[in-house]
Amino acid sequence: MKATAIAHSNIALVKYWGKRDVALNLPAAGSLSVTLDGLSTTTTVSFDDSLDGDRLILDGQEITEGRPLDRVVTFLDLIRAEAEVTACATVETSNDFPTAAGLASSASGFAALALAATTAAGLDWSKERLSALARRGSGSAARSLFGGFAEMKPGLRPDGADAHAVPIADADHWDLRCLVALTARGEKKVGSTQGMQRTQATSPFFNPWLATMDDDLTAARQAVENRDFGALAGVAERSCLRMHATAIGADPGVLYWNATTTSLIHAVRHARDEGLPCFFTIDAGPHVKVFCPASSATDVEAMLRDSSGVLDVLVTRPGQGARIIEAR
Ligand code: DP6
């Protein structure tokens, strides 16, 4: 009744933004991502009959109330129902990156929790089924079950059983680097769940944006298959900018960028014009993620570190999917 899993964060190249069903957390469209070897969460779940409530220990500190604990309890309830387990659980989870830096922790967090908790509850599920489960915790977590390049399928079924990620290519398919330029400290003000729901409810650009998703997914899938860096750069930057454009068009507008975010967009494009292969993507926060071939990583890192407002740069590469590291 005890298991430990590790999962890595992922960065979307074709963005998920909006839901076709809030209760089941079904995405409005597909998305495509790279799972990264850094940015990992390790989670141990142990079910224990003697507990009278679920316990969450995050980076060594017990969380006794609030949204993170509520999300974990709701998620464990799904697993208890499937496994016919009634015991409460202790969830000990730690990130190898600063949780408060505003980097995605829900993706690695719910992927690791889905795998550790199902294993501890005695369930032996396929990666696809685990991915659909992880989606209930956070849409982006569904993609972190798989290593390398993964595509989230929005599915058609009302129960969401077919809304899960599928693998596209392994981590060693393409020797890319993803450099994460940190541009601010602290949590973002508008979380992704809230930001996408406000966008969907109020932005006149949301539905036109959704109509572009299938073409972007096809283009990104082909670029990955062909290891076509220029094609991937084109589709990833336009997907990112259009996602943010829909959010900025909400009422009130959802704007995640700071001045450094904007100047890095220009810096990356300028470097590319000068012959350095690189492209940017930005999630629901002010940090900028820059992809490049492994051979250009040193130059891209130097360019980012030289840019004013950059607090730190993390260098990551495609990594493995979620896996169990201990179970008994
Ligand atoms: C901008 O997966 O955090 O990172 O399903 O509501 O938990 P919820 O949202 P979440 O949204 C991620 C949004 C994004 C784009 C992406 O990862 O595809």
Q: What is the tens place of the pLDDT at every residue in 189-221?
A: 889 999 999 999 999 999 999 999 999 999 999
Query: What Cα–Cα distance (Å) separates residue 130 from each residue in 114, 136, 187, 247, 285?
Result: 6, 10, 28, 30, 27
Same-domain status, 147 and 293:
no
Question: Residue 100's pLDDT band (boundaries 50, 70, 90)?
Answer: low
Q: State in Å: Cα 102 to ligand 1 middle.
A: 13
Task: State the DSSP H helix or E strand holding residue 298, giving kind and residue range, or none if neither.
Answer: helix 297-306
**Which segments within 2-97 are labelled E, that is strand?**
2-14, 19-21, 26-27, 31-48, 55-58, 61-63, 88-95
pLDDT at 56 over 70: yes
Alpha-carbon 180 to chain mean position: 14
**Is residue 151 domain-shared with residue 220, that is, in the same domain?**
no
Residues 126 and 203 in one domain: no
Contact 39/45 with Cβ under 8 angstroms? no
| Same domain flag for 15 and 153 | yes
Nearest-CA residue for ligand 1 atom 8 is: 138
Helix ranges (H only) for 84-165 are 106-120, 127-137
Q: Computed over its alpha carbons, how large is the radius of gyration of the chain? A: 19
Could you tell me the distance, in angstroms and rounded to a whole number, from the CA of residue 17 to the centre of ligand 1? 7
**Residue 323 domain flag:** no
Q: Which domain holds residue 261?
A: 176-318
For residue 222, how far is its CA from the centre of ligand 1 (angstroms)?
Answer: 23
- Matching residue, tokens 């071939």: 293
Q: What is the pLDDT of residue 244?
A: 98
Other C-beta atoms closer than 10 Å to the C-beta of 119 total 21
Number of neighbours of residue 238 by Cβ within 10 angstroms:
15
Q: Any residues with Cβ below 6 Å from ligand 1, and which?
A: 12, 15-17, 25, 31, 104, 106, 138-140, 192-193, 283-284
pTM: 0.96
Please check whether residue 242 lies inside any domain of the structure.
Answer: yes
Looking at ligand 1, which residue's alpha carbon is closest to its atom 7? 138
Mean pLDDT to the nearest integer, 78-101: 90
Q: Tell whether 327 is covered by a domain.
A: no
* Termini Cα distance of the chain: 7
pLDDT band at 102 (very low <50, low <70, confident <90, very high): low
Q: Round to whole Å and give the CA distance between 94 and 132.
A: 23
Q: Is residue 328 part of a domain?
A: no
User: For the chain, how many helices (H) and strands (E)?
Assistant: 9, 14
Q: Which two tokens stand for residue 217?
A: 């997914």
Q: Say yes or no to pLDDT of 328 above 90.
A: no
Closest ligand 1 atom to residue 243 Cα is 1
Q: Which of 236, 3, 12, 25 is nearest to 144 (CA)?
A: 12
What is the CA(175)–ligand 1 centre distance, in A? Answer: 25
- β-pair type (176-182, 288-293): antiparallel
What is the Å distance from ligand 1's center to 226 Cα?
27
Alpha helices in 158-258 (DSSP H): 192-202, 206-210, 213-225, 229-248
Tell how far the Cα of 192 is from the centroid of ligand 1, in angstroms.
Answer: 6
- Average pLDDT value over all residues in the chain: 96
- Supply 79's token pair: 């697993």
Pair 93, 181 in one domain: no
Residue in this structure with the two tokens 């387990």, named with its chain if needed: 85
Q: Which of residues 129, 148, 172 is at a domain's end?
A: 172
Give the CATH number of the domain where residue 195 resides.
3.30.70.890
Given this model, what pLDDT does residue 185 score? 87
Same domain, 168 and 208: no
pLDDT at residue 189, as a whole number: 83
Of the candidates 154, 172, 190, which is a domain's last residue? 172
Structural domains counted in the chain:
2
Do 42 and 111 sit in the same domain of this protein?
yes
Q: Which helix (H) or strand (E) holds 67?
A: helix 67-83
Phi and psi at residue 309, to the nearest 5°: 95, -10
Protein residue closest via CA to atom 3 of ligand 1: 192
**Which of ligand 1's atoms lies nearest the C-alpha of 197?**
6
Does 81 share its domain with 133?
A: yes
Q: How far apart are CA 138 and CA 25, in angstroms?
A: 7
Confidence of residue 154 (pLDDT cuts 50, 70, 90): very high
Q: Are residues 127 and 222 in the same domain?
A: no
Q: Are residues 64 and 201 in the same domain?
A: no
